[in-house]
Amino acid sequence: MSTFNRSTLVKVLEILDSSHAGEALAAAKLASAMVREAGLSWEQVLAPEISAPSLPAPAGRAAGAVAAGSGPFGYRRDQRELSPHEQFFMVLLSPRTPSEIKRKLRGLEARVLDGEITPQETQDLKFMYQSFVVG
């Protein structure tokens, strides 16, 4: 079970209004993954108060404690490596990402969404994710 950040989800959902279909689709997939990996349902997310699913606390840890492997934006670090488009949006939405980096990322957006970035750009994106989101 990981933490859930409703304000981050709101930022991702605001991208659904994009005139670029690929961008809107990527935002929808990211939002869905955030909800699923936080162990919540959309019904729980849309409720006025989010309540954590009732799961027994693991031995040796108090109920309600954040899992040691929980990552940014409600992702569990031990689950899987994020796709380039997921990393892209997290870097873009992170308050720690400098404005000049966000401007440069906008020029890469269409290619990221189409899956047409080079291996070097994939590595650069991974580095930015580690620096500005996970860091």
What pLDDT shows up at residue 123? 92
Whole-number average pLDDT of the chain: 76
pLDDT digits (tens, 9 = 90+) for 71-93: 555 554 445 677 888 888 888 88
Place of tokens 């109920």: 63
The tokens describing 10, both together, are 């709101």
Is residue 108 within 8 Å of 121, Cβ to Cβ? yes
Average pLDDT (68-73) is: 51
